[in-house]
Amino acid sequence: MNQFTSVNDVQDIKQLLNDALALKDDPYSLQHLGKNKTIGLVFLNPSLRTRLSTQKAALNLGMNVMVMNMDKEGWALETQDGVVMNGTTVEHIREAAAVMGQYCDILGLRSFPKLVNREEDYNEDFFNKFIKYCGVPVVSLESATRHPLQSLADLVTITETWKGTGKPKVVLAWAPHIKALPQAVPNSFSEWMCKAQQEGMLDFTIAQPKGYELNEDFTPGANITHNLDEALSGADYIYVKNWSSYKEYGKVLTYPEGWMLNNDKLKGTNDAKVMHCLPVRRDLELSSEILDGPNSLVIHEAGNRLWAAQAVLKQILTGLS
């Protein structure tokens, strides 16, 4: 693997899952791979899980880690070409990315969307330029439109916990929020679940209020509905997540009542396990009774972020040598 920015960078999804679970069993067995290799983790936005799990994953593999909060320790980067830089941006991404590539064998990058201009965000302009100019393999720590380390951890969690017969029914369920959040997590989750569905691993349904439909590029083959109860019926896994509108880009639209998951709504499911990428706003996005109850997988799922990151870094390190 020479980059990890979406499910499309993965050659064999089942092999990657196997790698993650094997590393979970034996975390320190591959420290020779990372010896004298350095990963730079570059954040343009805050991070808790992604920062710590990726850092730990790299350490488990014997790597050196350098964390750079570019927004706080550095300065503003220019991405447009052909502009006279006499404003607030201090350095062009052409130089900044290339320089970071001089000191690191792998770079991780987090950069959120601005949620103002849909085309700009969905072009992944910043991410693509960073990849182009840095000259080393890049791992997405969440981009404007995707969060693949999260989605891989989610798939690891489903694979690992599914003890039923046949294929589990997995539902991505929109949830309320007071702020306009990116579509990166649901896009990415959907992309990975659609891929897993293609490989016969599960059945995938998305439920959201009208106006909250995701970009269709991320939902090939998904069963999509505006009826939450219908979606939840017989569900084995429910992935709860808020996102802002893609159609009316970045907007928080009005929505009917009843979209916050609680124990009552679990009744029609197959005693479904409940997932969330975190951070979660309790009793706004998801009820405390679920988070504190036996159906919640959220901490287990966060723990699997470590093995997802370690599996990805393992495959990239293998490709480096």
Which residue ranges make up the annotated binding site?
47-50, 75, 110, 142, 147-150, 177, 241, 277-278, 281, 305
Specify the stretch interacting with a copy of itself by CB under 8 A; choose among 33-41, 116-124, 227-235, 312-320: 33-41
Q: Tell me which of 2, 14, 32, 103 binds a copy of itself, using CB under 8 A.
A: 103
- Which H/E stretch holds residue 311? helix 298-320
- Considering the rule CB under 8 A, would residue 252 count as an interface residue with a copy of itself? no
- Considering the rule CB under 8 A, would residue 51 count as an interface residue with a copy of itself? yes
Specify the stretch interacting with a copy of itself by CB under 8 A; choose among 165-173, 186-194, 266-274, 275-283: 275-283
Judged by DSSP in three states, 124 sits in: coil
Within 162-201, the residues that bind a copy of itself by CB under 8 A are 178
Exposure of 13 by Cβ count < 10 A (0-12 exposed, 13-18 middle, 19+ buried)?
A: middle
Amino acid present at 166: G
User: Do 79 and 117 form a contact (C-beta atoms < 8 A)?
Assistant: no
Exposure of 151 by Cβ count < 10 A (0-12 exposed, 13-18 middle, 19+ buried)?
A: buried
Amino acid present at 220: P
CB of 177 to a copy of itself, least distance (A): 9
CB of 246 to a copy of itself, least distance (A): 23
Binding positions for carbamoyl phosphate are 47-50, 75, 110, 147-150, 277-278, 305
* Total binding residues toward a copy of itself, as defined by CB under 8 A: 62
User: Do 177 and 195 form a contact (C-beta atoms < 8 A)?
Assistant: no
User: Do 253 and 237 form a contact (C-beta atoms < 8 A)?
Assistant: no
- Considering the rule CB under 8 A, would residue 110 count as an interface residue with a copy of itself? no
Q: How far is CA 1 from CA 26, 28, 44, 139, 165, in A?
A: 21, 21, 24, 10, 32
Amino acid present at 91: E
Q: How far is CA 174 from CA 179, 216, 217, 275, in A?
A: 14, 16, 18, 12
Would you say 169 or 305 has its CB closer to a copy of itself?
305
Q: Tell me which of 5, 6, 55, 190 binds a copy of itself, using CB under 8 A.
A: 55
Within 73-102, the residues that bind a copy of itself by CB under 8 A are 73-75, 78, 81-86, 90-92, 94-96, 98-100, 102
Would you say 16 or 134 has its CB closer to a copy of itself?
134
CA distance 5 to 150: 11
* Residue 131 region by backbone torsions, left for phi larger than 0, else alpha for psi between -120 and 50, else beta: alpha
Would you say 231 or 280 has its CB closer to a copy of itself?
280
Would you say 168 or 182 has its CB closer to a copy of itself?
182
Judged by DSSP in three states, 201 sits in: coil
- Token pair, residue 201, equals 């691993």
Exposure of 82 by Cβ count < 10 A (0-12 exposed, 13-18 middle, 19+ buried)?
A: exposed
Within 11-30, the residues that bind a copy of itself by CB under 8 A are 27-28
CB of 58 to a copy of itself, least distance (A): 10
Contact residues toward a copy of itself (CB under 8 A) are: 27-28, 36, 38, 40, 43, 46-49, 51-53, 55-56, 59-60, 64, 66, 68-70, 72-75, 78, 81-86, 90-92, 94-96, 98-100, 102-104, 178, 278-284, 288, 291-292, 298-299, 302-303, 305-306
